[in-house]
Structure 1
Amino acid sequence: MEYKVRIKNLFSRENVIDLLKGGRCTIFSAASGEQLLRPYIPGTAASFSPSTLNRMHQFNAGRPPVQETHDYALYYLSSKGGMEKDYYLVDSRCLIYDRQIQWAYWETPLIVPVVEGLEVTAAQIKAICPPASMSNIKKHVTHLNEAMRKYKINTRLRQAHFLAQVAHESDHFNTAREYADGSKYEGRLDLGNTEPGDGKRFRGRGLIQLTGRDVYKKYGAYLGKNFIDGTNMFQVEQEPYASDSAGWFWLIYKKSKDINGRADRDDVIAVTRAVNGGRNGLTERIKYTNNAKTVFGIS
């Protein structure tokens, strides 16, 4: 299927064209000192080597994207000057903006194959996390599948790591709210807790517990919702947000940690550090990851 048809349509909208027109030329300097004076065009002789492309992604990682959603990140890459065309990098594919006709289009068709059979069942989650009750699993399984589709947890190995982490963080799917009352977070400026009572208000919620005013605000901004005022923060411990927030944390909030990349390398310790900040519960996280790999037939 086409890669989110609405994205193709999005680039035809006037506000996005205005956004692209406002880009300024950026020259990428490779490690060799050579400057990027040509665009990245997949599938052509002008394409870059994997090592150069990797440096390009590292370069972009430290810069805010021009546009970002849960589906893609759009980075300004280079300009061809006299040809009146600007080039943008979108998930390793090239988007071209023609300044003369004020139109954006894909250099190559943006096609992503549909991977069938990645739905996870309640029985599989039970096998991954035996202490979990089937009734609790069934509260979340549909929403977990949607979150994994939405946030690119789209291989069996990624799912194995994600579900293992979620199983531990939620105490075997027993809770989507931190057991402690949050008093220990009071006055934690690093969490954005600047108002009296913020510690308790913004205690950990969701299947991977979002903690602190700052992360609740960012998650709400991403969805276009308000999780700050009144009792809105309680929504994060309820579905669909309990599962969705876990996926958002995994892919968006911890983007710099590249948790999917760590999962692709099958590095439980690295995934745990990105999720937890340390090695808390590592033995159980390893156990559930191994269970999931067995369930999914990963050798």
Structure 2
Amino acid sequence: MAHRQGLTDLNAKSGASSVDSAVGACVGDCPRCCAKMTEEQMKTIFPSASAAKITGVTNAFNSAFEKFELNRCLRKAHFFAQIRQEVGASISALTEDLHYSEAGLKKNFSYFRQNPEEAALYGKTAEHGADPEAIGNRAYANRNGNGSIESGEGYKYRGRGYIQITGKEIYQNVQSQMDARYPGNGLDIVNNVEQVLETKGGMLSAMAYWRWKKLNDRADNGDTGEHVDKITDVVNYYTHTRPDRRTNFDTTKVVFKTAECTNRPK
């Protein structure tokens, strides 16, 4: 009971709301680490987003950030630098585009390199368009917890969301993290995969993925471009957008005033 009172007092001291969370006590004396995010901060990061989207995403983040221990300025800055790249300036949660050409399939997926005749059959050619469902079921069969081609899970659990989660096992692990840290969250992304594209589901699944992958630990290490890259290694290792993610962080570290934070690494 004393521990719970301690959390309440510490949150009140920092100006944060009294969130009933088993984790996420404020650390140190920085008044911003546990502070709720404002819509003005969100607008700076996502300048093309509608007012309704800004309000929804801000509320979704504020409802759960302490539960996933996104309660340090550096953690928030790194988190939103990655989210900004994944959803863009207008906050558009995307589903993985599987409209590959024949050549693209052979370049990106071992299955189609091993089965080039199927790359010609299902990939976009001069004669026909791509078949994304057939592509997903083959490219991701028997990977990341997915079943066989016939199971349809490769296509069902293709990449989606504010951080693109891909594969049945990843969806399950993210759901487990949400349930453990935010009981009663109202989401079931394993059976209702489209929830990952909605505001609440997109934000909470991204936060759960972040916590599950221990990205708070990497975020705590510092605020250089190299530190951004270490997080990108986990979020999207093969991306060509590393420079953009560093640029995003140049914005978010100002938004969250990381240079003034007293909880920076020593």
Identity, in percent, stands at: 30
Deviation string, structure 1 residues 162-204 (Cα, Å, up to 9, x no partner): 0111111112343223251564442422222215322331122
Partners of 1:268 and 1:233 lie apart in 2 by 29
The residue that corresponds to 2:253 in the other structure is 293
**TM, length-normalised to structure 1:** 0.56
Task: Work out whether residues 177 and 203 of structure 1, in 8 Å CA contact, stay in contact via their aligned partners in 2.
Answer: no
**TM, length-normalised to structure 2:** 0.62
Aligned length: 194
What are the residue-to-residue correspondences of 1:156-235 with 2, within 5 Å? 156-181=73-98, 183=133, 184-187=135-138, 188=140, 189-195=142-148, 196-222=151-177, 223=179, 226-229=188-191, 232-235=192-195
Partners of 2:146 and 2:45 lie apart in 1 by 36
Partners of 1:207 and 1:238 lie apart in 2 by 9
Partners of 1:297 and 1:194 lie apart in 2 by 45
Partners of 1:175 and 1:203 lie apart in 2 by 17
The structure whose residues are more often strand, as a share, is 1
CA RMSD of aligned residues (A): 3.2
Return 5+ residue gaps in structure 2 as ranges. 6-20, 99-131, 260-266
The structure whose residues are more often helix, as a share, is 2
Paired AA for residue 67 in structure 2: K
Q: Which of 248, 254, 261 is matched with 2:208 structurally? A: 248
Task: Work out whether residues 96 and 160 of structure 2, in 8 Å CA contact, stay in contact via their aligned partners in 1.
Answer: no
What are the residue-to-residue correspondences of 1:1-299 with 2, within 5 Å? 3-4=3-4, 71=22, 116-117=31-32, 118-181=35-98, 183=133, 184-187=135-138, 188=140, 189-195=142-148, 196-222=151-177, 223=179, 226-229=188-191, 232-252=192-212, 254-255=213-214, 259-264=215-220, 265-266=222-223, 267-299=227-259
Higher Cα Rg, which structure: 1
- Pair 1:277–1:146, CA change in 2 (3 A): farther
Report the CA distance between 1:296 and its aligned residue: 2.5
Paired AA for residue 218 in structure 2: R
Worse-matched range after superposition: 201-210 or 112-121: 112-121
Task: Work out whether residues 122 and 141 of structure 1, in 8 Å CA contact, stay in contact via their aligned partners in 2.
Answer: yes
Partners of 1:113 and 1:272 lie apart in 2 by 27
Task: Work out whether residues 70 and 216 of structure 2, in 8 Å CA contact, stay in contact via their aligned partners in 1.
Answer: yes
Report the CA distance between 1:121 and its aligned residue: 1.4
Deviation string, structure 1 residues 267-296 (Cα, Å, up to 9, x no partner): 111111121124431122111111111223
Report the CA distance between 1:129 and its aligned residue: 3.5
Deviation string, structure 1 residues 130-187 (Cα, Å, up to 9, x no partner): 3444442222111122332211111111111101111111123432232515644424
Paired AA for residue 260 in structure 1: N
- Pair 1:268–1:2, CA change in 2 (3 A): farther
Partners of 1:185 and 1:262 lie apart in 2 by 31
Deviation string, structure 1 residues 195-229 (Cα, Å, up to 9, x no partner): 53223311222311221111122233342764334
